[in-house]
Structure 1
Amino acid sequence: MELVNKERSLVSKVMDGLIAGIVEDRYGAVLPPQDVLSKEFDVSRTVMREALSMLLARHMLDVRPKIGTRIRPMRDWRMIDEDVVSWRFRAKPDKTFLRDVIEFRGLIEPAACGLAATRASAAEIVGIRDAFEALSQTSPGDSGCQAADTLLHTRILAASGNQFFQQMAAIIRGALSLVNPILNERDDGWRNIVQAHGRVVDAIERREAKEAEAAALAMIEYTADELQRALSPEPAVQR
């Protein structure tokens, strides 16, 4: 058993190293041969083969005759997999990816908030309120700021009672980790985000499903607008 656990640990370590190389574009479009990678990571070919197979299963790699192991575009990665979500959000974001993240949130979160207002138990609503209070007492520079925001969104998704929405929590967590640092650089960005979350939580507590949906959608639209401003090129200075 100890040997098996050690091998699994090595496979995980190799996977993490391969992902780092992929998202940092160290390998280009095609990975080096397995024997080269095995020497690079100082592991057996068996461990390297297992690590590569795990990435293949997640649609991150593609083996082709006479070409080798090709790295697939990130848009092809199996985003329903929580590990893949985490790895994808480690890569430098581009405008298309940010757009897709916002569109995804706009589809999932308002509906989840509306369902939470209808279905959440009394204990779940207390948990949502507690998470919001913890969030409101943090600031962008605090170490627990991101964790508090993540907890609030996760509890709302759980309270929706929809198992598919609950499975989307990993993507929502990744989205928050991506957009929050950008929003926090905007004037009054954090204060506005906290107030927007408060409106969502208030509506859920009152069991106002439509109001909760509308508040969540408004929050996401605000995020989209702020991201667009943050990523727009600065106007040229007239001389």
Structure 2
Amino acid sequence: MEQGKDRSLVSKVMDGLVSGIVEEKYGAILPPQDVLSKEFDVSRTVMREALSMLLARHMLDVRPKVGTRIRSMRDWRMIDEDVVNWRFRAKPDPLFMRDVIEFRMLIEPRAAAQAAARASVADVAAIREAFDLFKGLAPGDTGYASANELLHTRIVHASGNQFFQQMAAIIRGALQATQPMLAEKAGAWEISVQTHERLVSAIERRDPKDAEAAALALIELAADEISREFAVEVPSRH
């Protein structure tokens, strides 16, 4: 029971440290462990464990006579779901958003094509169920973001590719980052629903080529808004 309590405390401290990091509370160097222990009202053992977890995720770097340095967010282990969630918590910058779109263009269209070719009957039914939930909601409605993420996650899962499946957290984070921009664009929701319908129908028809094209069209909607919002050049299929 005590071990479970300690693990919960470690998770809480990790989350608090990350909040301070992304909010630039600490600057480039974290305070000493004893100072942080007092700040979070935990033992040095708990604080040491929390810091070691962040070190393992390449978020911190310990240097002699310097202390615990906060590493650039570009160095963070993005394949780790916790790190993904924390990274997307920070204010987005143009290059990060460009990288998000490039990642999605590499992974999601291929995952959609593989879902059309490999998905089980149960997988296809789950994708349709998620889409039916998604299309009944509008941006701003409670549950809209979750429904959108669920639909994309199920498509990636149905690809059958274990590496794609482990990257679903990055896709969910990318959707969270781009959804507010799309919500403000007139007509974007209607286009999004229509294109998602095309994607889901292509998977149901076992049409990998059309599924890939529909997934890419969805990403290009987000790419256009990112280009406009951040004045950064984003990749194109053309």
Specify the TM-score bucket, using the shorter chain as the normaliser: over 0.9
TM-score, with length taken from structure 2: 0.95
> Is the contact between residue 94 and residue 231 of structure 2 (CA under 8 Å) also seen in structure 1?
no
Moved segments of 4+, more than 2 Å: 230-233
**Quick one: distance in 1 between partners of 2:229 and 2:28?**
30
Amino acid paired to 2:110:
A
The CA distance in 2 between the partners of 1:197 and 1:109, in whole Å, is: 13
How far residue 88 of structure 1 moved from its aligned partner, in angstroms, is: 0.4
Q: Which residue of 1 aligns with 2:181?
A: 182
Q: Is the 8 A contact 2:61 2:70 kept in 1?
A: yes
User: 1:122-149: per-residue Cα shift (whole Å, max 9, x none)?
Assistant: 1211111111111110011111101110
Give, in whole Å, the separation in 2 of the partners of 1:221 and 1:3. Answer: 50
Is the Cα–Cα contact under 8 Å of residues 186 and 230 in structure 1 kept in the other structure?
Answer: no
1:236 maps to which residue? none
CA distance in 1 between partners of 2:61 and 2:152 (Å): 35
1:196 and 1:109 map into 2 onto residues whose CA distance is 14
Q: Secondary structure at the match of 1:22?
A: helix
C-alpha displacement of 1:230: 2.9
Q: Equivalents in 1 of 2:132, 2:10: separation in Å?
A: 40
* Equivalent position of 1:116 in the other structure: 115
C-alpha contact 2:115 2:156 (8 A) present in aligned 1:
yes
Distance, in Å, in 2 between the alignment partners of 1:144 and 1:130 is 14
Q: Aligned AA for 1:113?
A: A
Return the offset for 1:198.
1.2
1:73 partner amino acid: S
Q: Which residue of 2 aligns with 1:17?
A: 16
Structure 1-normalised TM-score?
0.95
Q: Give the structure 1 partner of residue 95 of structure 2.
A: 96
Whole-angstrom CA distance in 2 between matches of 1:193 and 1:3: 49
Residue 204 (structure 2) aligns with: 205
- Look up the match of 1:226: 225
What number of residue pairs does the alignment pair up?
232
* Matched letter for residue 15 of structure 2: D
In structure 1, C-alpha distance between the alignment counterparts of 2:90 and 2:191, rounded to whole Å: 27
Amino acid at match of 1:222: L
Which runs of no fewer than 5 residues in structure 1 stay unpaired?
234-239
- 1:33-74, CA deviations, whole angstroms, 9 ceiling, x for partnerless residues? 011101111111111000000000000000001110000000
Identity rate of aligned residues, in percent?
69
| Partner deviation per Cα, 1:66-114 (whole Å, 9 max, x = no partner) | 1100000000000010000010010000011110000000000000000
Superposition deviation, residue 217 in structure 1: 1.0
Q: CA RMSD for the aligned pairs?
A: 1.1
Kept after mapping to 2: 8 A contact 1:183/1:227:
no
Aligned to 2:166: 167
Match of 1:195 in 2: 194
